[in-house]
A and B are shown apart, each in its own frame.
Chain A
Amino acid sequence: MSKQQVQRKRKKKTAGKGKGNRGWLGLLIKLSIVAALGLAGYMVYLDAIVQERFAGKRWTVPARVYARPLELYAGQKLQQQDFITELQALGYRRTAAAQRPGSMSVNGSQIEVFVRGFRFYDGEERAQRVRVRFASGQVAALSRADGAALPVIRLEPLLIGGLYPAHQEDRILIRLAETPSYLIQALTTVEDRDFFEHHGVSLRSIGRAAWVNASSGRLQQGGSTLTQQLVKNFFLSNERSLSRKLNEALMAILLELHYDKEEILEAYLNEVFLGQDGNRAVHGFGLASQYYFSQPLAELELHQVALLVGMVKGASFYNPRRHPERAKERRDLVLDMLAEQGAISAEQLEVAKQQTLGVTSKGSLANTSYPAFMDLVKRQLREDYREQDLTEEGLRIFTSLDPVLQQKAEKSMAEAFARLKGRSGIDQVEAAMVAVRPGSGEVLAMLGSRQPRFAGFNRVLDASRPVGSLVKPAVYLTALAQPARYTLTSHLQDKGFSVRDSKGRNWTPQNYDRKEHGTVFLYQGLARSYNLSTARLGMEVGVAEVLKTARLLGADHDWPAFPSMLLGAGSLTPLQVAQMYQTLANGGFHTPLRAIHNVLTADGEPLGRYPLHVEQRFAAAPVYLVREAMRRAMTEGTGRSAYNRIPRDLRVAGKTGTSNDLRDSWFAGFAEDLLAVAWMGRDDNGKTSLTGATGALQLWSELMRSASPSSLSDQVPEGVTEVLVDPEQGLQVIEPCEGVLRMPYMVGSEPDYGYFCGVSSSAESADEEGNKVRGWLKGWLNRR
């Protein structure tokens, strides 16, 4: 072979050998390219998930439901203690001097409050310091802390509950700017020191954790960054496998690619799991702050912040209510770490460590404190909004609930049953009560059962029961609207009678006491709740007319036109009764009862309003006359035992109601600014031993006693005039004397002058039963 030939051969050989080597390498490269492509593809897939979760999917935030905001003004009827109760419910802390928002100081009858402020539908109340002085159950003076005049101010409304979606998550979203001092520092110090430097995964943290775990022999530290924790919380279950860890790491990196540190931090603050309340999870620092401290996050102090940050590691393990010592240890450790890093001084450390945990005794997620009222709110909302909007879009719903009155109502319920204890069968008796502001139709308080805090059968809304004598005002209103025929002192015959219906059956009404009372004044038929005279009157004006009056009043009934309806055989729920009596209490002006004032979106944009709506259904004059009869029911009639509880000078009007066999005990009554309907009975419709007076009236009077509403105005409306009449004939008298009655009449229907009192030969008074009418005047009586 020639040299060239050998060379070529050698080249060929080396070439062949090189090709072989390159073959292996080539394969490796090809494989790694495939792997890289695979990884890239997988990353794309993960990335899609990450983006979808953060960008596309919304944070589901339940709707928040608020009570009415407490308005303050000089001259307001408000007990100092009630004011303090409201402030405490709002999470105001008692301090020596109200220096920060959310604090109050009490000096005798003067209270200084640093009001937090709130953005309402119709304007903003700024945070500011105000001074309130109380005297004789009133706000005597209201001013700003610097002395400037303050005519009126609203406190922020109390959060009373939320509307939760099926998965029961809840949040109070916070922005980074709203976080209290030290929160970010504490969080990064404890959980992720290199947060602001790394790109999703921190090799340093992993290394450190590995070292610590290895040297201590057990898993002590996690090397996860906040970003990784966020990913874990957001997407992945609690599985702690290696593949999970890898996924987590990849997704964390992707997250950091898309979003900056602030955004990730904010999301973390709102996502991190910080506790469990029954079947509801507490996510995010905003909600945790409310749940543990009843305070907004921005108000928290160093030691409180440290506690929450410490709980990130294990919210159940470090639950400050269940494991206070553990929680305190953990908190102090966090404080130590902060001091170590130089974030806080040694004195701050000492002071903070000396603080107690400071958590409230129970969580105030406040979903079930007012179940009956919330039920009404939900029903009213569901008429206008979809379930999804209600439970996921973070709507803010402002209601009319008066939490102070609600509390009084609950106490009244307990009191009333305490006093009824021992009566036969009282343990099976249930109850319901609803309180309404007559002028505006706002529902102020609601008790759906004897145990108001338990959500269950809501009797106010769903217990439709025979109303008994509660229907009688409809009879009398129908009559009194015809002043040419009937006045309050018209004579009625309280005598037995029978009516035959189309099927040939007899209806024979009876009085409660099975007696006849002879001739009585029309108002007495109502005040004493006589069945016979009422039924006769009802038959005279016509059952259909009475039913129409009831409907016009607002009783949303479908009763058939039977005579028995005149005595309340028909059924209504307590709320329907309240609607009916609202028109009576509001001078004939019907206002639909409402629990909601308005609804805002999460951003505070108005979404819906439920404005005041009035409709005059009856003239003021006949309504006033009925009201007068109902007022006398309280002073001399079936409601008079109310004055065992309420002050004598409180003018109220009301009506007892007792259905057949004492199966239902009702009372509906009102003062100037408060109307309440109470019911007692058995769910199985069995007999109780209670009448309207011995049962429901007791509940009602207890409420009125503690609520101390304003007396009914004694202002007589246009078209009505008051005159003096004698107590026996109802004729006008020239001069007042013993036993004379002051009675209102529609102008033009006043009785004739007649009976000259003081001349009578007997000392009979009009208020006693068995009042005999002098025979020789009978002929002069005409049905006016």
Chain B
Amino acid sequence: MNKMMCAVLLGVGVLTGCASTSQREIPVVESGARLSPGVLRDVGDQPLVVDSRQENEPVVTVMTPPEAGMPAIASGDQPAAVTWGATEDQKLFDEPSSTMSGATPSVAAATRVPDAPVQALLSTAQQQRGKGDLNGAASSLERALRIAPQEPQVLYRLSEIRLMQGDLAQAEQLAQRGLSYSSGRPALQAGLWDLIAEAREKQGNSQGAAEARHKARAFM
């Protein structure tokens, strides 16, 4: 009799044991991963989460922008020790209002768009780029482009990002777009032609690259 009771108790115990498991979370979220707070409305202060994943592109090259009169340091020539971040308040290709070609309208007409938001976004993009977040940088640059669609500095930076990401065709196209807005800004034009040269070179178009380099030099 006792044996039977024991057996039953054991059996029930075993069954209950099978039934229960260790304490587990009810995943309230869809895919079992943690639901990020503030899905829609982020009320509290959230720490800035920076996506520091590296895209699979080679070295993060930082091009030192050519100041007026200085030759551009092309990426790959030397690992730039100077990062852009130091001069983030400075305009890329800082140039005086154009009085060069009389027929072309002054640069002032092209810069009637407010400066501050574009510069802020350019600087954000540089920071993101410095952390390896190229997609984020591109996003910030596209924001800047929405505000100032004709600002060639933004197209310059976006073209650089595409180069870094290996999208060479787009790098070239974006630089071309930038050129169409750069009349009267020779340093910028030179820089853009250099980007085109690099993109063409990497696509195997050596002749086109040589032509572009030639054009770049003509502006310097």
Contacts and interface: CB of A to CB of B under 8 A. Distances in A.
A633 interface: no
Contacts of B145: 439-440, 612
A73 B26 contact: no
Interface stretch (A693-701, A711-719, A730-738, A762-770): A711-719
Interface of B: 1, 4, 8, 11-12, 15-16, 18-21, 23-46, 48-49, 51, 103-105, 109-110, 113-114, 116-117, 119-121, 124, 128, 133, 135-140, 142-143, 145-147, 149-150, 158, 170, 173-174, 176-177, 180, 183
Contact of B173 (A178, A299, A614, A721): A614
A123 B34 contact: no
A257 interface: yes
Contacts of B35: 173, 175, 602-603
A718 B183 contact: yes
6 contacts: A37-B15, A40-B19, A73-B114, A101-B43, A126-B46, A267-B28
Interface string A47-84: 10001001100111100100000010111100000000
A182 interface: no
Given A55-B26, A394-B30, A614 B42 contact: no
Contact of A127 (B37, B45, B124): B45
A117 B43 CA distance: 7
Contacts of B176: 589, 616
A574 interface: no
A589 B23 contact: no
B158 A258 contact: no
Contacts of A296: 40-41, 43
A264 B26 contact: yes
Nearest to B21: A258
A119 interface: yes
B41 A58 contact: no
Contacts of A26: 1
A602 B109 contact: no
A139 to B, nearest CB: 9
A121 B136 contact: yes
A403 B95 CA distance: 38
Contacts of B170: 613-614
A437 B145 CA distance: 11
A556 interface: no
A22 to B, nearest CB: 9
Most buried by A among B39, B105, B113, B183: B39
B30 A58 contact: yes
Nearest to A152: B117
Nearest to B135: A609
Nearest to A393: B30
B124 A437 contact: no
Interface in A297-329: 298-299
Contacts, number: 236
Which of A116, A258, A264, A714 gathers most chain B CB within 10 Å? A258
B180 A173 contact: no
A749 interface: no
A724 B34 CA distance: 68
A206 interface: no
A151 B146 CA distance: 15
Nearest to A589: B177
A738 to B, nearest CB: 24
A101 B38 CA distance: 13
Given A71-B147, A75-B114, A126-B45, 7 more contacts: A44-B15, A64-B40, A117-B46, A123-B48, A173-B30, A264-B26, A602-B29
Given A75-B114, A257-B20, A118 B41 contact: yes
A404 B154 CA distance: 26
A751 interface: no
Interface string A435-456: 0010110000000000000000
Nearest to B173: A614
- 10 interchain residue pairs of minimum CB distance: A75-B114, A122-B139, A73-B117, A151-B120, A152-B117, A439-B149, A296-B41, A122-B136, A151-B116, A117-B42
Interface string A146-159: 00010110101001
A258 B23 contact: yes
Contact of B28 (A40, A126, A266, A673): A266
A367 B35 CA distance: 24
A603 B36 contact: yes
Interface string A112-130: 0000111111111011000
B142 A612 contact: yes
B29 A59 contact: yes
A116 B46 contact: no
Interface in A568-609: 587, 589, 597-598, 601-604, 606, 609
A748 interface: no
B34 A603 contact: yes
Contacts of B105: 714-716
A606 B51 contact: yes
Contact of A299 (B30, B39, B43, B137): B43
Contact of B42 (A40, A116, A260, A393): A116
A33 interface: yes
A612 B124 contact: no
Contacts of A439: 145, 149-150
Question: Number of contact residues on A: which range applies?
Answer: 35 or more
A116 B41 contact: yes
Contacts of A224: none
A615 interface: yes
A540 interface: no
A41 interface: yes
A82 B39 CA distance: 26
B104 A716 contact: yes
A437 B148 CA distance: 12
For A101, A266, A614, the residue with the greatest tally of chain B CB atoms inside 10 Å of its CB is: A614
Nearest to A48: B19
Contact of B12 (A40, A61, A270, A603): A40
Contacts of B110: 713, 715
A211 interface: no
Nearest to B143: A71
B37 A123 contact: no
A172 to B, nearest CB: 6
Given A47-B19, A587-B180, A71 B146 contact: yes
Nearest to A117: B42
A140 to B, nearest CB: 11
Contacts of B177: 587, 589, 614, 616
A263 interface: yes
Contact of B119 (A151, A258, A299): A151
B31 A58 contact: yes
A376 B13 CA distance: 59
Interface in A365-419: 392-394, 396
A60 B23 CA distance: 23
Nearest to A74: B114
A504 interface: no
B180 A55 contact: no
Contacts of A603: 29, 31, 33-36
A604 B30 contact: no
A259 B41 CA distance: 28
A716 to B, nearest CB: 7
A177 interface: yes
A615 B28 contact: no
A102 interface: yes
B30 A611 contact: no
A536 B183 CA distance: 37
Contacts of A614: 170, 173-174, 177
Interface string A519-550: 00000000000000000000000000000000
A43 to B, nearest CB: 6
B18 A44 contact: yes
A126 B33 CA distance: 24
A613 B159 CA distance: 11
Nearest to B42: A117
Contacts of B45: 126-127
Contacts of A266: 26, 28
